[in-house]
Structure 1
Amino acid sequence: MKIGELAKRSGLSAATIRFYESKGLITAVSRKANGYREYPLEAVAVLAIIANAQQTGFTLEEIRQVMPGNLSNWKHEELVGMLKKKVADMEAMELKLAQSKLQLQNMIQLIEGKPENMDCDDNANRILKGMGILKAG
């Protein structure tokens, strides 16, 4: 199939398909005499895998490392290892995000907990002293 049909079937632009081809993620089987690329039907599935992997956080380099030359030749151990590593990375990111969220919520509470008769500058100093950023004095 030509790139236009592959783009239509995959939902990706021809430019994206050419980009993936330039990165070695997908290959055209051949070129016709007129220079048009011809793609196998399995290219639709390969593009779906690539798009899905990108949506779940894989880089193109990570995808390229485990994508087989054809879909019947997966590198099973590498693929499972990479998937497990990505899950671990996501869990670490979730923990970091939760910590950052807690810090922001604490900051909001400190700011909103301003004594009624205190102006904003004095409140900022109070918060910074409480955080150990400014010396008491």
Structure 2
Amino acid sequence: MNIGELAKQSGLAASRIRFYEAEGLISQVGRQANGYRRYSAEALQTLQLIQSAQQAGFTLQELKALMPAPGEHKRDELIEALERKVQQIEAMQVQLAHSKAQLLGVIEAVRAQPQGVPCSMGQKQVLASIKLNA
């Protein structure tokens, strides 16, 4: 298939596909006699894998390290990378829960301020409470 077809099927811009190709993430590319790129069905699968992995939090550099060369298998490395990513996500969840708790505390502190208190005074108290809880 040509790049237009691949772009349509993958939902990616042709420029993004060319970028992935230049980065070495797509290797299943041939050239026609007129110089146009010709992509295999594997290229579509690779693009779908890249999209899924990025949504899961993998960077392009991480993906490049994990993408096997044709005929190569990196099962153990893949499992380790996936486990590391799960640990990173769990650490982010802990941080997000802490941030959420802080924000909820700030909301309560703001709500507890009497209506007539000047904003500047309330801001100082709120900022002080954030520093104490950090």
Please give the secondary structure, in 1, of the residue aligned with 2:40: coil
Q: Which residue number corresponds to residue 48 of structure 1? A: 48
The one-character-per-residue Cα deviations of 1:24-43 (angstroms, maximum 9, x if unpaired) are 00024421221111222211
* Secondary structure, counterpart of 1:30 in structure 2: strand
Q: 1:109 to 1:11 in 2, by over 3 A?
A: same
List gaps (5 residues or longer) in structure 2.
none
Q: Please tell me the residue identity of whatever aligns with 1:83.
A: L
Determine the structure 2 residue equivalent to 1:62.
62
Displacement of 1:16 after TM fit? Answer: 1.2
- Which deviates more, 122-131 or 79-88? 122-131
* Structure 2 CA distance for aligned equivalents of residues 15 and 44 of structure 1: 15
For 1:34-73, what per-residue CA distance to the aligned partner results, in whole angstroms no more than 9, with x for missing partners? 1111222211111110111111111111111111123x63
Shift in Å, 1:125: 4.4
Taking structure 2 as the reference length, what is the TM-score of the superposition? 0.84
User: Are 1:9 and 1:44, in contact at CA under 8 Å, matched by a contact in 2?
Assistant: yes
Change (3 A) 1:103 1:23: same
Kindly indicate which of the two structures has a greater share of residues assigned to helix: 2
Opposite residue 62 of structure 2, the aligned amino acid is E
Larger radius of gyration: 1
1:38 aligned counterpart, secondary structure:
strand
Task: Give the alignment of 1:1-137 within 5 angstroms.
Answer: 1-70=1-70, 73-115=72-114, 118-127=117-126
TM-score, scaled relative to structure 1 = 0.82
**CA displacement at 1:130 relative to structure 2:** 5.9
| Contact 2:21-2:27 at 8 Å conserved across structures | yes
Equivalent residues of 1:54, 1:60 under 8 A apart: yes
Q: Identity, % of aligned pairs?
A: 45
The count of residues paired between Structure 1 and Structure 2 equals 132
DSSP 3-state at the match of 2:72: coil
**Aligned-partner residue type, residue 75 of structure 1:** K
Residue 127 of structure 1 deviates from its aligned partner by 4.7
TM-fit CA distance, 1:9: 2.3
Shift of 1:99: 0.5
